[in-house]
Amino acid sequence: MRDYKKTNAPESTVTFDREKVQGGTENIYEAIAVIARRADQINAEIKQELIEKLDEFATHNDSLEEVFENKEQIEVSRFYERLPKPSSIAIKEWLDGDIYYRNPNKEEI
């Protein structure tokens, strides 16, 4: 699992040059499809990491006592809310050439 906390992806909306995003693909739609799939992977990894961290603070009791707020859980949640969006991280990886992809329909037999 990569450390997305250290990414330098933009946290807000940024306009990119279409030619740079298209990169080595034949069309922009193929590039966007690859970026979207990578963003889904990143989102799943971040979500799993967040769930694991929140489970560390969870109390597992069956009583109906009043639910109290755990400050550590709130801080962890806020930290993950401030991370760049998975799509921004995926675009940054794409532009840096860190994503490997292949199109099996275009491969020669």
pLDDT tens-digit series, residues 78-95:
888 888 999 999 999 999
Task: Render pLDDT for 11-41 as a digit per residue (tens, 0 to 9).
Answer: 777 888 888 888 778 789 989 999 999 999 9
CA distance 58 to 68: 11
Q: Counting Cβ atoms within 10 Å, is residue 33 exposed (0-12), middle (13-18) or buried (19+)?
A: middle
- Judge whether 48 lies within some domain: yes
Residue 35 placed within a domain: yes
In the chain, how many domains are there?
Answer: 1
Q: How is residue 17 written in tokens?
A: 């040059």
Could you tell me if residue 11 is inside a domain?
Answer: no
3 within some domain: no
Q: Which domain covers residue 89, as residue numbers?
A: 16-58+66-96
Answer yes or no: pTM beyond 0.85.
Answer: no
- Mean pLDDT, to the nearest integer, of 60-65? 55
9 lies in some domain: no
**2 in any annotated domain:** no
